[in-house]
Structures are given as C-alpha cells and as structure tokens.
Amino acid sequence: MAPDIWIADTFGIDSDSINTITHKLIVLAIVLLVAFGVDLFCRKVVIRVIHRVTSATATRWDDYLLSDKILRNACSLIPPIIIYFFIPIVLEGCVTALSYVLKLLQIYIIVLIIRLLCSFLEGLYRAGSEEEGLRHHPLRGLYQMFKLIAIGIGVIIGISTLLDKNPITILTGLGASAAILMLVFKDTILGLVAGVQLSANSMLHDGDWITIPSRNVNGIVKEVTLTTVKVQNYDNTIVTVPPYALVSESFQNWRGMQQSGGRRVMRSLNIDMNTIRFCTPEEMERYEELGWLEGFTRTGHAEVNLHVFRNYVERYLASHPDVNTAMMIMIRQLQPTANGLPVELYFFTDGTEWKAYEYTQAAIFDHVIAMINEFGLKIFQSPTGDDITRSIYRQ
C-alpha cells in the first residue's frame, strides 16, 4: 500500500490534502537547505577569502571593519532573509499562519541587523582607538551613544512591526511620556550631551592629566563613557566623575603643558634685605676672574650684590642642560614682605616627566642656595632655638 493511501485511511485525511502537505514540506525542506547551505558556504569559504585579503593589506581598518565577528553576524542574516522571501510559497493558502511567521521573521531580522550594527560600531571604535590622531579622543562615549541610538531605533521598529503601526506613531506616543523618560535616563542623557561636547571641542582625551580640586581629582584620565569619566589619581585611587560635571564646572587640563615640551618652575627665595649692599672693587674683580659677570651690563656706578647675583642665576639657568632655553627665563623681584625680599626664578624644564621635573628643580635650587653666600647675601629664615642660644652666648 502506498504511504499516502495508508495515511488517508488511518487518519481520515483526503489524499489530495496529503499530496499538498507533502509538496509543501518538500518545498520547505528545499528552502531550508538552500538558506543554511548558502550560510555555511559564506562562513566556510567567503569569510576565509575576505580574511586573506584583509590580512594582506597594510591598513588595519579593514581588519576591524571586516572582523570575524562582523562577518559572522552578517552571515546569520542570510537564512531568515531567504526563508522570508520563499515562505509564502510554502504557506500558500494559510493566511493567518503566514502572517504570524512573516512577523516573527521580521522581528528576528531586525534583531540580527541591530546586532550587526553594534558589532560594526565596535569595530569602528577598536580601529579608531589604534589611530594616532584618534587614540586620545573619548571614543568610548561616542561608541556607546551610537550603540544606544541603534538599539533604540531597532526597538521602535520592532514594536511597530509587532503592532502593525507606523514607527512615527510609536514615537508620538513616546513623546507623551518624555518627562518620565528624561527623569529615568537623566544621567544618560546629560552624559550623552556632555560626551559630544567634550569630543567636539577636544576638551578631554584619554591619557590627559586633569585636576578638579572640588572633587579630589588629580590624575590621569583612563576612560570616558556616557555616564562616567574614570580618573586614576597619583595615589592610585580611582575617582569617577559624571561627564556633565566637566562641562558645567571648571577643570584644569595639563595636556598643553605636556605637549609644549617644557614644564614651568616658578619659585622664589626670600632674601634678607639687611644683606643687600654695594659690591666692593675686590669682589667685582673676583667675580670677573671666576667668570660670573658674563653678559653683565655695568651701570657705571657701584654694583649692587643682588643685581650681580640675579645676573649670575639667569646665566646659570641659560646654560643648564635640563632647562628649556627656547622658553622664558626670568629672575625677578616681588613685593617685599616681613619675611624679606622675594626673588623669583621663572623658567621651564626641558621635559615634562614628573620625577625628572622635580629632580631638575631641586638640583637648581640646591646650587642657587649654596651660591648665595658667595655674593654676600643671606636667605631670610625665622629664628630657631639654636639661633637664640648662639646669640645669648655671643653676648
């Protein structure tokens, strides 16, 4: 007995209906075979060919934009799209079932497209993070922003597909609850706007040294996202600051100093004004022999020891190997105080690295403090117990 006759006798089904069902199952099997066959071919052959081509190129962008993850997500779209176009043949005459299946396929395709877009944005982010010109920009915040927008658009289109409504109608309905949405996603929205401002105005890059005294921030920017800016302080603590705080408040960015190649030193020594006097001819002759008067412009009168000292320090800084001579070097007097006459050294070190900066600064002031007595000057210092004791013994 033929199988179709046996099924008809057993289940009481008309033989023509059985032939129709068999035909549809065969067509469905062919459609599924073609869909997943094309998918398998793309995964096993096409992706490998693309990887060989991208690995042979000098640029790195194609390695990220045509990465294995992106290509596999693209391949996953092939089966549902093929099934979507051929399923009406299989379900011909079954209007209700066809409607539900098509709707499910549409939603599934939307989900796969969103996943593909997110992986593509991730590839863009990773490629941009390795570019010299883009490496220090807050790309993570932009990546999260576009990813959030893509997911939001996908959700709206999915809902409109499920409800058979225009996406514009869905957006209009959401407008009524905009106040609630803004309250719930306040930090995300503020962070989104602030992130765009920080990036567009080049206010903050990954790796920048920033200080915000009001928030106890003094360190290196490690990461900029939609909702937080992560900073590692120099004591190795991690501080997170909302991006909108950097836009609404003031912060100090030391990037300009680091890029200039010189770091400023602006420190003063308080000179005891009782030791400021005119130099004797013997002292001037000695200074001349030691070469301490190079570049010194004589006034034609008796020279003041502080004037000679300032000239010596300026010449010393100009010849120091760790001082940036392309930037300003100045020795100036400040307003006298009860603690003496401040003489300020204003110059820039040749380099911005912190440890080298501190060592250079210390070495220069070690030398200046040690040399000041050679000019008959003294640094003002408040009396200590030893000073008072020695004064009593002298009497």
CATH number (domain holding residue 288): 3.30.70
CATH of the domain at 239: 2.30.30.60
Is 192 domain-assigned?
no
Q: Give 294-316 pLDDT, tens digit per residue.
A: 888 887 788 999 999 999 999 99
Is 394 domain-assigned?
no
- Domain-terminating residue out of 210, 241, 257: 257
Region 319-342: mean pLDDT is 93
Q: Same domain, yes or no, for 15 and 159?
A: yes
Closest CA to 217 of 205, 199, 232: 232
More confident residue, 122 or 378: 378
Is 74 domain-assigned?
yes
pLDDT at 6: 39
Q: Same domain, yes or no, for 290 and 366?
A: yes
Q: Same domain, yes or no, for 310 and 268?
A: yes
Q: Same domain, yes or no, for 253 and 270?
A: no
Q: Give 341-382 pLDDT, tens digit per residue.
A: 999 999 999 988 889 999 999 999 999 999 999 999 999 987
Residue 154 has pLDDT above 60, yes or no: yes
Q: Same domain, yes or no, for 27 and 7?
A: yes
Q: Ranked by mean pLDDT, which of 8-17, 176-185, 355-364 comes out on top?
A: 355-364
Contact (Cβ atoms closer than 8 angstroms) between residue 219 and residue 313: no
Q: Same domain, yes or no, for 218 and 120?
A: no
Q: Same domain, yes or no, for 279 and 318?
A: yes
Name the pLDDT band for 12 (thresholds 50, 70, 90): very low
Q: Same domain, yes or no, for 126 and 148?
A: yes
Is 292 domain-assigned?
yes
Is 37 domain-assigned?
yes
How far are the Cα atoms of 172, 174, 182, 183, 379 from residue 177, in angstroms, in the given order?
9, 5, 9, 10, 71
Among 65-74, 174-183, 278-287, 354-363, the least confident range: 174-183
Quote the domain boundaries for residue 367.
261-379
pLDDT at 388: 58
Is 301 domain-assigned?
yes
Residue 339 has pLDDT above 60, yes or no: yes
Name the pLDDT band for 18 (thresholds 50, 70, 90): very low
Is 217 domain-assigned?
yes
pLDDT at 14: 44
Q: Same domain, yes or no, for 241 and 271?
A: no
- Domain-terminating residue out of 217, 236, 257: 257
Residue 180 has pLDDT above 70, yes or no: no
Q: Same domain, yes or no, for 275 and 233?
A: no
Q: Give 230-265 pLDDT, tens digit per residue.
A: 899 988 899 988 888 888 788 888 888 888 889 999
pLDDT at 273: 93
Q: Same domain, yes or no, for 288 and 352?
A: yes
Q: Same domain, yes or no, for 22 and 150?
A: yes
Is 174 domain-assigned?
no
Domain count, the chain: 3
The rounded mean pLDDT for the chain is 81
pLDDT at 182: 65
Dist. CA 217–CA 254, nearest whole Å: 13
Q: How many Å is the Cα radius of gyration of the chain?
A: 39
